Amino acid sequence: MARVLHQNDVRIGRPKMNEQITIFVGPASLRLGAEVCEIMRTAPGAYECRRFPDGEIQIDIRESIRGRDVFLVQSTSPPVETHLMELVLFADACRRAGAGRLTGVIPYFGYARQDRRTHRRSLGARVAADLIGTAGFDRLMLVDAHTPSIEGFFGIPIDHLTAVPLLARAVAPSVHENSVVVAPDLGAAKLADRYARLLEMPVAIVHKTRFSGREVATRGLTGDVEGRQPVIVDDMISTGGTIEAAAKALAAAGALPVSAVVATHGLFVGDAGDRLAAVGVRRFLVTDSVAPPPELRLPVEVVSVAPLLARAIRHLHEDRSLADLVSHD
């Protein structure tokens, strides 16, 4: 039986911010979760993640959490099924161990794009939400989920945090008087408006048609981009197909080369690296909600959401408002 052990090996002896709070760092978010604990001056909770020969997963809590305010940091990033199962088993273990209150901190929520049913297809967002809802969480924190309406799939309260202000500050040095914020599809239009307000820039929207998970085509563009330098913004970069199509549409409309692509979640799956390298984008800004592939050969800059998560955890633990941390779309 193979075992993967994750414990507070590098922070043993550090003072805890509050003995009534415990933060567990799930296998999908080890680095990000460790940074959150560092900011909050607390050691990550100790647990063991067992993986059996047949692929089954088992979570074993290795310290007392009875009556504590417990936070579990775990993205459901690729491989989504594995990390989703870890999340719900972790929650079940915490609840059975007597956690007083259990909050799931999910920096990236997989299946969020499957939020609308067409023909005879499954509704993945609802199924994932139902599964998480059975695990015993009292509350969830999500970061820039694909659509704000995702909250309607859950039967438990959700705090929908946003990394847009962090990313807007990071991309600001790339912005000039002739820059324009570009939504690569209609679904990102509201997001582009938020960036445009923060950066005081005009907005353009690329209209696209999706044929498959990696193939898209553009069918027009709204807004003035000729002679302007585009900054493309989206909630995530997955295969790179949407960004590639948008960049080509912008070039055909007379825009200057794309100065930056900004997205909260940088998955960069499949051949995304090669596709996007051919586009010639100067800068990619993403957060650490998902760890970028180590072999990725793109000019990627990572903006940490650890301070955002730590602040939200602190506010929730102290029953303070999260109004200035959440998305208001």
Question: Which residue range is the domain that position 195 belongs to?
Answer: 165-303
Residue 144 φ then ψ, to 5°: 45, 55
CA angle, 78 as apex, 72 and 82 as ends, to 5°?
Answer: 60
Asked if the structure places residue 41 within a domain, the reply is yes
Higher pLDDT, 254 or 214: 254
pLDDT at 11: 33
| Chain segment 16-38, per-residue pLDDT in tens | 445 689 999 999 999 999 999 99
> Could you tell me if 155 and 211 lie in one domain?
no
- In the residue annotation, 208 being an active-site residue is answered as yes
**Residue 323, domain member (yes or no):** no
Catalytic residue among 16, 190, 208, 248: 208
Closest of 266, 88, 82, 235 to residue 161, by C-alpha: 235
Query: How many angstroms separate the Cα of 146 from the Cα of each of 223, 256, 265?
Result: 24, 28, 10
d(C-alpha 232, C-alpha 276), whole Å: 13
pLDDT tens digits for 76-103? 999 999 999 999 999 999 999 999 999 9
- List beta partners, residue 22: 70
Give the separation between CA 229 and CA 210, rounded to whole angstroms. Answer: 25
Task: List the CATH number of the domain containing 106.
Answer: 3.40.50.2020
CA–CA separation, 32 and 304 (whole Å) = 8
Please tell me whether residues 157 and 210 are part of one structural domain: no
Q: Average pLDDT of the chain?
A: 89
Co-location of 273 and 289 in the same domain = yes
**Overall number of domains in the chain:** 2
Q: Are residues 86 and 194 in the same domain?
A: no
Query: Do 33 and 146 lie in a common domain?
Result: yes
In this structure, the strands spanning 300-303 and 284-287 are parallel
Assigned token pair, 167: 């990313």
Give CA–CA dist 36/21, Å, rounded: 13
In the prediction, which pLDDT does 112 show? 87
Which range in 54-63, 277-286, 292-301 is most confidently predicted, on average pLDDT?
54-63
Sequence-ordered list of residues with C-beta below 8 angstroms from that of 158, at least 6 positions apart, any chain: 139, 140, 141, 142, 150, 151
Is the entire prediction scored with pTM above 0.85?
Answer: yes
Classify 242 in phi/psi space as left (phi over 0), alpha (psi -120 to 50) or beta: alpha
The packing angle between helices 272-279 and 241-252, to 10°, is 10
β-strand partners of 233: 262
**Domain co-membership, 178 together with 130:** no
Looking at the fold, whether 105 and 197 belong to one and the same domain comes out as no
- Do β-strands 179-183 and 203-210 pair in parallel, antiparallel, or remain unpaired? parallel
**How far, in Å, CA of 266 to CA of 259, rounded?**
17
Is 322 inside any structural domain?
A: no
- Asked whether residue 275 is domain-assigned, the answer is yes
| Cα end-to-end span (Å), the chain | 47
CA distance 46 to 7: 5
Decide if 203 contacts 232 (C-beta within 8 A): no
Residue found by looking up tokens 């067992």 in the block = 50
Lowest mean pLDDT among 11-20, 81-90, 254-263: 11-20
Is 325 domain-assigned? no
> Is there a single domain that holds both residue 296 and residue 310?
no
Is residue 139 one of the residues assigned to a domain? yes
Within a domain: 34: yes
User: In one letter, which amino acid is 204?
Assistant: A
Cα dist from 85 to 26, 89, 259, 286, 325, whole Å: 11, 6, 39, 25, 28
What tokens does 161 get?
């945090």
The proportion of the chain whose per-residue pLDDT surpasses 90, expressed as a percent, equals 71
Amino acid at 283: R
Q: Are residues 133 and 185 in the same domain?
A: no
158 and 17 in a common domain? yes
12 and 143: one domain? yes
155 with 273, same domain: the answer is no
Residue type, 38: E
What whole-number distance in Å separates Cα of residue 206 and Cα of residue 219?
8
Q: Is 245 part of any domain?
A: yes
